[in-house]
């Protein structure tokens, strides 16, 4: 049983977010709403059997990506696990490409070859959703290695940081510990962000993870600077803490680790009866809802939003998401004759396979970067 921590004690007037213009925060609110509305449609489409496979929605955790991405530049690589729709959308993926991917259509970001768990978006430097728990953590180190190498050896690009997201369940995989040790030894500018929603499937964190109330100790073991964000349902609170932390990692080109406490409203995946937690627990977090929180701040503190504005924003976003569903429904399914054997190799060679020749895949216009 976890308990909700309200956003208290934070000075809304002096944090980094307080210095940002209204438009930026309104943009955050819109992103939060977009992810929420998108996932509502995702769940609908899943129950209509328009989406198959494993599907994990992001409801409740939206502030994590919106608050942390706000501290990045476009060239900063992002990588995450399978609960990845929010990351894709907040990073700028066209909702159409995201929805169509789940529908298994050619217009999806990965042309229907990856599905819900594997969202890749090259123009926006999203290096994937990854389905194997913690498999993305060595990759996160590699992205940081590459940006640092490009900067220092090739003299290309500015100082970048890589954000590598993981669930609390991924804390228990060896891959993360190898990756953090490598990041520490090589001083790689990667920030491991634990989306600590308290559960991996039905396992409460304290049942699977040592020092679960002091996760920063794990980072300390690898000589990595760390940060805990208790009020991780509050996008401004995330930004206020994360921005200076990320800036330091960027400046010093060194790794970081963030225990970001959040909560998922829905079951682990689309088939989870949720016997391991109470309705009251879920309700206590819903009182801290990221959308309601930011909306309140914008109406009360800043006075830059009215209820009517918010309704209009919701309406506009709902239309976009409806459009995305319609787009996915109307998009063509991949033709096995052209798509089954394409994209296996960048440069296909003859006789690579006994079952058929590989061919060159065509780029998807929605993720090619010229859309």
Ligand X SMILES: Cc1ncc(C[n+]2csc(CCOP(=O)(O)OP(=O)(O)O)c2C)c(N)n1
Q: Exposed, middle or buried, 90 (CB in 10 Å: 0-12/13-18/19+)?
A: buried
C-beta of residue 132 within 8 angstroms of C-beta of residue 169: no
**H or E segment and range at residue 63:** helix 62-69
What count of other Cβ atoms lies within 10 Å of the Cβ of residue 10? 16
CB nearer to Mg ion: give 267 or 361: 267
CB nearer to Mg ion: give 61 or 106: 61
Binding residues for Mg ion, total number by CB under 5 A: 4
Q: If we measure between CA atoms, which residue out of 191, 173, 83, 162 comes closest to residue 135?
A: 173
**Mask: binding to another protein, 15-54, rule CB under 8 A, as x and -?**
----------------------------------------
Give the residue, chosen from 131, 140, 232, 256, that forms a contact with ligand X under the rule CB under 6 A: 131
**CA distances from residue 245 to 43, 109, 181, 330, 337 in whole angstroms, order as listed:** 35, 31, 20, 44, 50
Shortest Å distance, C-beta 146 to another protein:
4
Q: What residues from 317 to 346 belong to the interface with ligand X (CB under 6 A)?
A: none
Q: How many Å separate Cα 62 from the centre of its chain?
A: 8
| Backbone torsion region of residue 356, taken as left when φ is above 0, otherwise alpha when ψ lies between -120 and 50, otherwise beta | left
C-beta of residue 317 within 8 angstroms of C-beta of residue 89: no
Shortest Å distance, C-beta 120 to ligand X:
17
Binding residues for another protein, total number by CB under 8 A: 58
14 touches another protein (CB under 8 A):
no
Give the residue, chosen from 6, 201, 292, 363, that forms a contact with ligand X under the rule CB under 6 A: 201
Task: Identify what 140 binds: ligand X, another protein, Mg ion, none; CB under 5 to 8 Å per kind.
Answer: another protein
Residue with token string 């798509």: 339
84 touches ligand X (CB under 6 A):
no
Query: For every residue of 82-109, which 3-state class applies, written as one string?
Result: CCCHHHHHHCCCCHHHHHHHHCCCCCCC
344 touches another protein (CB under 8 A):
yes
What count of other Cβ atoms lies within 10 Å of the Cβ of residue 15? 17
Shortest Å distance, C-beta 263 to Mg ion:
9
Q: Exposed, middle or buried, 266 (CB in 10 Å: 0-12/13-18/19+)?
A: middle
CB nearer to ligand X: give 290 or 334: 290
Shortest Å distance, C-beta 65 to ligand X:
12
Of 42-50, 125-133, 276-284, 355-363, the window that binds ligand X (rule: CB under 6 A) is 125-133
Q: What residues from 173 to 202 belong to the interface with another protein (CB under 8 A)?
A: 174-175, 178-179, 181-182, 185-186
Helix (H, G, I), strand (E, B) or coil at 352: coil
Dist CA 146 CA 135 (whole Å): 18
Residue 151 has which token pair?
A: 């900067």
Give the residue, chosen from 95, 167, 184, 232, that forms a contact with ligand X under the rule CB under 6 A: 167
What does the DSSP 8-state code read for residue 230?
Answer: S
CB nearer to ligand X: give 130 or 295: 130
Per-residue burial over 278-287, b = 16 or more CB atoms within 10 Å of its CB, e = otherwise: eeebbebbee
168 touches Mg ion (CB under 5 A):
yes
CB nearer to another protein: give 49 or 349: 349
CB nearer to Mg ion: give 65 or 99: 65
Give the residue, chosen from 70, 98, 133, 143, that forms a contact with ligand X under the rule CB under 6 A: 133
326 touches another protein (CB under 8 A):
no
Give the residue, chosen from 1, 6, 132, 221, that forms a contact with ligand X under the rule CB under 6 A: 132
What count of other Cβ atoms lies within 10 Å of the Cβ of residue 101? 33
Q: What residues from 299 to 318 belong to the interface with another protein (CB under 8 A)?
A: none
335 touches another protein (CB under 8 A):
no
User: Where along the sequence are the contacts to Mg ion (CB under 5 A)?
Assistant: 167-168, 197, 200
User: Where along the sequence are the contacts to another protein (CB under 8 A)?
Assistant: 77, 79, 108-114, 118, 120-122, 127-128, 130, 132, 135, 137-143, 145-147, 149-150, 152-154, 174-175, 178-179, 181-182, 185-186, 342-347, 349-354, 361-364, 367
């Amino acid at each position: 049983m976890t308990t909700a921590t309200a956003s208290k004690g934070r000075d809304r007037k002096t944090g980094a977010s307080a210095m940002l213009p209204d438009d930026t925060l309104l943009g955050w609110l819109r992103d939060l709403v977009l992810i929420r509305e998108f996932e509502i449609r995702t769940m609908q489409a899943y129950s209509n059997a328009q989406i198959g496979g494993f599907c994990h929605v992001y409801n409740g955790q939206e502030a994590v990506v919106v608050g942390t991405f706000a501290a990045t530049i476009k060239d900063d690589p992002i990588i995450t696990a399978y609960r990845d729709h929010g990351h894709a959308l907040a990073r700028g993926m066209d909702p159409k490409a995201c929805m169509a991917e789940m529908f298994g259509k050619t217009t999806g970001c990965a042309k229907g070859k990856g599905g819900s768990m594997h969202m890749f978006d090259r123009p926006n430097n999203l290096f994937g959703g990854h389905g194997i728990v913690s498999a993305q953590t060595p990759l996160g180190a590699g992205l940081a290695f590459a940006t640092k190498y490009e900067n220092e050896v090739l003299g290309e690009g500015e100082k970048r940081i890589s954000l590598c997201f993981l669930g609390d369940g991924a804390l228990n995989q060896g891959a993360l510990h190898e990756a953090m040790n490598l990041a520490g030894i090589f001083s790689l500018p990667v920030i491991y962000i634990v989306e600590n929603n308290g559960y991996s499937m039905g396992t409460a964190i304290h049942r699977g993870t040592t020092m679960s109330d002091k996760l920063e100790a794990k980072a300390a073991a690898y000589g990595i600077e760390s940060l805990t964000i208790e009020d991780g349902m509050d996008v401004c609170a995330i930004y206020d803490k994360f921005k200076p932390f990320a800036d330091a990692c960027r400046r010093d080109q060194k790794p970081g680790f963030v225990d970001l406490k959040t909560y998922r409203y829905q079951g682990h995946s689309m088939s989870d009866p949720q016997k391991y937690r109470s309705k009251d627990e879920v309700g206590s977090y819903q009182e801290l809802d990221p959308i309601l929180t930011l909306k309140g701040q914008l109406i009360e503190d800043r006075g830059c939003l009215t209820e009517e504005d918010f309704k209009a924003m919701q309406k506009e976003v709902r239309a976009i998401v409806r459009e995305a569903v319609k787009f996915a429904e109307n998009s063509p399914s991949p033709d096995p004759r052209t798509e089954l054997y394409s994209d296996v190799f960048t440069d296909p060679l003859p006789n690579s396979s006994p079952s058929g020749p590989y061919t060159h895949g065509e780029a998807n216009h929605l993720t090619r970067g010229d859309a």
